[in-house]
Chain A
């Protein structure tokens, strides 16, 4: 059972464009929602994260929008650059072990 659904599976954007990746969750016990960026041959690295009591968080060109009532959150990458080409994972945390449940990933390609 996939508790965090992520879309799209792949995304192609022109340089300077906006990249948008969406996630939806089911478990209301999730208390923290991070986004991870993964480059080929590397481990995932935390990009930005949000708590459910906040509707938006911005860090540089990256923004998370969070809709608690709809149980959805999204990542917006403004002014997308070729260096942003990577796989992006949304995730949600729950439990005393801080277990992360990951979405299925989005392969982002930013064309020069």
Chain B
């Protein structure tokens, strides 16, 4: 029943490791996003994919690499993890058309802790 799901919910790892977060939506949406929420709860967009194509790539270190195998999935791979990467990462999705449709549906988040 979950509209946007993420795995894992919690991720604790050491500096320098490589990790992935997976996201899936069953809403039939064509656009998916990754957001980062820092310790002060500030939400900032990282990436957006539309029909498996990257359309937004904010100023994010190239250690972060999104991959969209199909419209329903958007994964986030992070190389050489740093302490500053500790945050909650949210996946979201929406439908581009009709343009008046608007809601972005968010997943439950993945809390990443780098030690």
A interface residues with partner B (beta carbon < 8 Å):
32, 34, 36, 38, 41-46, 49, 87, 89, 93, 95-102, 104-105, 107
User: Do B45 and A43 touch across chains, with their CB atoms under 8 A apart?
Assistant: no
Closest residue of chain B to A101 (Cβ to Cβ) is B45
Interface size grouping (class) on chain B: 20 to 34
* Interface residues of B, dominant DSSP: strand
A32 cross-chain contacts in B, Cβ below 8 A: 102
B50 cross-chain contacts in A, Cβ below 8 A: 97
B108 cross-chain contacts in A, Cβ below 8 A: 41-43
A79 to B34, CA, bound (A): 35
Interface membership of chain B positions 24-62, coded 1 if the CB is closer than 8 angstroms to chain A and 0 otherwise: 000000010000000011111100101000011000000
B106 cross-chain contacts in A, Cβ below 8 A: 36, 43-45
Closest residue of chain B to A102 (Cβ to Cβ) is B43
A87 to B37, CA, bound (A): 13
B interface residues with partner A (beta carbon < 8 Å):
4, 31, 40-45, 48, 50, 55-56, 90, 92, 94, 96, 102-109
* Interface residues of A, dominant DSSP: strand
Closest residue of chain A to B48 (Cβ to Cβ) is A97
| Closest-CB distance, A10 to chain B (whole angstroms) | 11
B109 cross-chain contacts in A, Cβ below 8 A: 41-43
User: Do B104 and A46 touch across chains, with their CB atoms under 8 A apart?
Assistant: yes
A42 cross-chain contacts in B, Cβ below 8 A: 108-109
| Closest-CB distance, A112 to chain B (whole angstroms) | 24
User: Do B96 and A98 touch across chains, with their CB atoms under 8 A apart?
Assistant: yes
B92 cross-chain contacts in A, Cβ below 8 A: 43
Contacts A43-B107, A43-B108, A97-B48: A105 and B41 contacting too (C-beta < 8 A)?
Answer: yes
User: Do A102 and B44 touch across chains, with their CB atoms under 8 A apart?
Assistant: yes
User: Do B31 and A98 touch across chains, with their CB atoms under 8 A apart?
Assistant: yes
Instruction: Identify which of A49, A87, A95, A97 contacts B102 (C-beta below 8 A).
Output: A49
A100 to B2, CA, bound (A): 22
A89 to B106, CA, bound (A): 13
User: Do A99 and B56 touch across chains, with their CB atoms under 8 A apart?
Assistant: yes
A101 to B35, CA, bound (A): 11
A102 to B36, CA, bound (A): 11
